[in-house]
Amino acid sequence: MTQTLDGTVLVTGGAGYIGSHTVRALRAAGRDVVVYDSLELGRREAVVDAPIVVGDIRDNDLVTATCNEHGVTQLVHFAAYKAVGESMETPSKYWRNNVAGSVELIEACLASGVNHVVFSSSCSVNGTPEVVPVTETAPIRPESVYAESKAMVERILHWYGQTSDLRSVSLRYFNAAGASFDGRIGEDWTHSQNLVPLAMKALLLRDRRLKVFGTDYDTPDGTCIRDYIHVADLADAHVKALEYLGTGGDTVAVNVGTGVGSSVLDVLDETARAAGEQVPYDIAPRRAGDPVSTYADPAFAEKTLGWKAQHDLAAIVDSAYAWHKSQLNDDR
């Protein structure tokens, strides 16, 4: 088991947002890392202090060669498409890359002797939760092709656990946000449709106004509630999940959230505090598919992985604001 934890970690999608923060957390924990990324969505400059192999997760030969050359013993698998709306317009991309690609990757890793996998899953596998906070026993009811692709890979990993010596941890992320505290890496807002980067854009670029999708929900301030979790806390959950597997842990799915629900207007209030000015926004109609409220019950994560979020919404917004402001200056 010690040998497993001494070996190199293969991080697919390590040039992406959560992936790049996880690479840094693994390096800080003393783990050797090799990043495997197609760079279709990831950015090479986001990879700090680790080699990168540019390739597709369906390329069996390249994955196998990478595992053998770098002495890989564990896998963290981020590489996936994650645009909910796009997944409903072009589902085949999601079945071929997110699902079939994951199978090809797992097969190549297993053949190379890698049998510990930490998988990037999502709270969206539960769809609109009937009960909050959301526990790991909540019904699996995906409401998009994207969410279904995550639920399917979770089940595929379960069956690999039944038919081989592969063991896995599927981490169900809630709303990832924020940037590294040293300002070195952060979220690329170019294609993001998520609230925090779009609020920062409206604040810093001044050429647009944020749309708040609905203020008539049955919540204290009428806007939807989510569990915003700092990307550094998410990264730490991956380090702990690898340690859990390396010391004999069985296959599980774990919710990774703070357990605290924040509304859209809470996020905008925090952003105004951080920036010293209001985010320009207009009220717009509800967005289809938005659950009214979802936030995690973090008890199982703490019990199983010994992990608990350390940062609150203020820390998330402060780090996001500092990052996007710094990028603005760099872009000028």
Residue positions annotated with a catalytic role: 146
Of 147, 111, 112, 102, which is closest to residue 129 (Cα–Cα)? 147
Question: Which listed range, 48-56, 106-114, 131-139, 188-196, lies at the site for ligand WQD (CB under 6 A)?
Answer: 188-196
Rounded to the nearest whole angstrom, what is the least distance from the CB of residue 320 to ligand WQD in the complex? 12
Q: Is 310 in the site for ligand WQD (CB under 6 A)?
A: no
Rounded to the nearest whole angstrom, what is the least distance from the CB of residue 147 to ligand WQD in the complex? 8
Question: Which listed range, 25-33, 180-188, 208-216, 245-253, lies at the site for ligand WQD (CB under 6 A)?
Answer: 208-216
Rounded to the nearest whole angstrom, what is the least distance from the CB of residue 71 to ligand WQD in the complex? 31
| Residue type for position 195 | L
Residue list 143-172, contact with ligand WQD (CB under 6 A):
none
Q: Tokens 């081989």 sit at which residue? A: 164
DSSP 119: E
Residue list 74-113, contact with ligand WQD (CB under 6 A):
82, 84
Using CB under 6 A, pick the residue from 156, 290, 300, 325 that binds ligand WQD.
Answer: 290
CA–CA distance, 124 with 85 (Å, rounded to integer): 13
Using CB under 6 A, pick the residue from 67, 108, 114, 224 that binds ligand WQD.
Answer: 224
Question: Which listed range, 65-73, 100-108, 190-198, 300-308, lies at the site for ligand WQD (CB under 6 A)?
Answer: 190-198
Total binding residues toward ligand WQD, as defined by CB under 6 A: 20
Q: Is 193 in the site for ligand WQD (CB under 6 A)?
A: yes
Rounded to the nearest whole angstrom, what is the least distance from the CB of residue 38 to ligand WQD in the complex? 19
Helical axes 195-205 vs 264-275, angle rounded to 10°:
40
**Four-point Cα dihedral 103, 143, 132, 245, nearest 10:** 0
Rounded to the nearest whole angstrom, what is the least distance from the CB of residue 222 to ligand WQD in the complex? 11
- Two tokens at 184? 């070195």
DSSP 44: G
CA–CA distance, 77 with 32 (Å, rounded to integer): 16
Q: Is 264 in the site for ligand WQD (CB under 6 A)?
A: yes
Rounded to the nearest whole angstrom, what is the least distance from the CB of residue 192 to ligand WQD in the complex? 8
DSSP 134: B
What 275-282 contacts at long range (C-beta under 8 Å, 24+ apart), as own/partner pairs, is: 275/203, 275/321, 277/203, 279/199, 279/202, 279/203, 279/210, 280/202, 280/203, 280/206, 280/208, 280/209, 280/210, 281/199, 281/202, 281/209, 281/210, 281/211, 281/212, 282/209, 282/210, 282/211, 282/212
Using CB under 6 A, pick the residue from 43, 58, 211, 325 that binds ligand WQD.
Answer: 211
Question: Which listed range, 35-43, 87-95, 98-106, 193-201, lies at the site for ligand WQD (CB under 6 A)?
Answer: 193-201
- Residue number, 231 or 239, with CB nearest to ligand WQD: 231
DSSP 293: B
CA–CA distance, 191 with 196 (Å, rounded to integer): 13
Strand partners, 168: 117
Q: Is 210 in the site for ligand WQD (CB under 6 A)?
A: yes
Q: Is 252 exposed, middle or buried (0-12, 13-18, 19+ CB in 10 A)?
A: buried
Q: Is 262 in the site for ligand WQD (CB under 6 A)?
A: no
Rounded to the nearest whole angstrom, what is the least distance from the CB of residue 122 to ligand WQD in the complex? 3
Interacting residues with ligand WQD (CB under 6 A)? 82, 84, 122-124, 173, 175, 193-195, 198, 210-213, 224, 226, 264, 287, 290
